[in-house]
Chains A and B, each alone.
Chain A
Amino acid sequence: MSDTRAVESDLARIGVDRVLCTGHGICARTLPEAIVLDEWGYPILAADAVRPADAKLAVKLCPARALFLR
């Protein structure tokens, strides 16, 4: 991953609306490199910059509409 820095500006930034989140855990499976789940099943953002295509899919699949692009 030598060109990570070069494409960093192309990455999408994601956020979680904590009030809307109901802990389905789907974002942790669609964005495994960026999101892990806490012991209750709610997401912890390990990194907020992800590939735009992955981010869009994850946002679409969030049943609570709590995941968003920033």
Chain B
Amino acid sequence: MSSELLWYLSRATGVVSIVLLTVVVVIGMVTAGRRRPHADRATIAAGIHRWLSLGMTVFIATHIITAVAEGYVDISWLSVVVPFTSGYETVWIGFGAIAIDLLVTIIVTSLLRHRISERYWRGIHWASYGLWLFAIIHGFALGTADQPILQGITLACGVVGGLAASWRVAVSHADTDRRQEIKSQEWV
């Protein structure tokens, strides 16, 4: 396969990855901060969050493999996991490496969720916000800078994710609300 084709494939899978990642993260925030209980929507959201997060790894893996295999710029296998070791765009590739490290940690701990305590799992899962932000910066700064459409998509993902995160911080928890309502009822 020609180097140029690999480079375009890497960009394409990168931009698909950022969209899927944003969808997964936003749906996770909706599940965690939902305002009113709605079992049907919650079930679909939980299913999408779980399986899309695993499915998107195919795009991320393709994104990484093609970026390294494409020989024009210097990105080593080491720089995929160790931040700031890439010869090409050291800082921005480094952000991508941080995102990958966090992604692997979050996926592994989630697959082993029933073997670790809720506290540790939850603490590690909070890193999703960091992972998403590093991925957005990586995508915005690198591959899409001279492509207004791709840059627009990354920017849109950033806006949507940012709004969802503000909503997540602002809302009260549905369970807390309901427990308080139940508590304020009189015993009959």
Contacts and interface: CB of A to CB of B under 8 A. Distances in A.
Do A and B form a real pair? yes
Task: Choose among B174, B175, B181 the residue with the greatest number of A CB atoms under 10 Å from its CB.
Answer: B175
Given A41-B178, A60-B50, A26 B113 contact: no
Interface residues of B, number: 21
Nearest to A60: B50
Contacts of B32: 63
Interface string B155-184: 000000000000000000111001001100
Contacts, number: 50
B122 to A, nearest CB: 10
A28 B39 contact: yes
Interface string B19-61: 0000000000001101001111011001100100000000000
A23 B178 CA distance: 9
B182 A40 contact: yes
Interface string B113-148: 110001000000000000000000000000000000
Contacts of A23: 37, 174-175, 178
A59 B178 CA distance: 23
Contacts of B38: 25
14 contacts: A20-B118, A22-B175, A23-B37, A24-B34, A24-B37, A24-B39, A25-B38, A25-B43, A28-B39, A29-B40, A40-B37, A40-B178, A40-B181, A41-B39
